[in-house]
Amino acid sequence: MTTLYTTDHEWLRIEGDVATVGVTDYAQSQLGDVVFVELPKVGRRLKKAEAAAVVESVKAASDVYAPISGEVLETNGALSAEPSLINSDANDKAWFFKLKISDRTELDGLMDEAAYTAHTA
């Protein structure tokens, strides 16, 4: 399993041809208390950099972008019931959706953990 990051503060866990996508702890700290999440529909085909989900906090609403192209295989229903999971466990339980990777070359432009840490410093 490999974890990669985007400049927009999403993380991807790559397992085979599936990428699990969420927002980083840094992103949730910037958002403040999350009160609502809108997830993409299963079966939706996303293009890289397309708005895929919406997160609303007490401060603002923000889009979550598809870090790579692919088809949505599954969404995390727990987030709809308990959006505050994003604040308490952004890097694990608060994943947003799983994508079937359609173009592995799109992974090449993403950062590893060291590069992402430097990016947010």
Rounded CA gap, 68 and 22, in Å? 13
What's the pLDDT tens digit per position in 53-92? 999 999 889 999 999 999 999 999 999 999 999 999 999 9
- Give DSSP secondary structure letters for 102-121: S-GGGGGGSB-HHHHHHHH-
Q: Which token pair is 54? A: 């919406």
Q: What pLDDT, on a 0 to 100 scale, did the predictor assign at position 103?
A: 96
User: What's this model's pTM, rounded to 2 decimal places?
Assistant: 0.95
What's the pLDDT tens digit per position in 102-116? 999 999 999 999 999
Q: What is the mean pLDDT of the chain?
A: 96
Q: What pLDDT, on a 0 to 100 scale, did the predictor assign at position 2?
A: 95
Between 2.40.50.100, 1.10.3720.10, 3.40.50.720, 3.40.50.300, what CATH number should domain 2-102 receive? 2.40.50.100
Q: What pLDDT, on a 0 to 100 scale, did the predictor assign at position 75?
A: 98
Cross-sheet strand order for the sheet of 18-23? 2-5, 10-15, 18-23, 97-101, 70-75, 45-46
Residues 6+ apart with CB under 8 A from 34: 28, 55, 56, 57, 83, 84, 86, 87
Give the helix/strand (H/E) hosting 27.
helix 25-31
- Give DSSP secondary structure letters for 40-72: PPTT-EE-TT-EEEEEEESS-EEEEE-SS-EEE
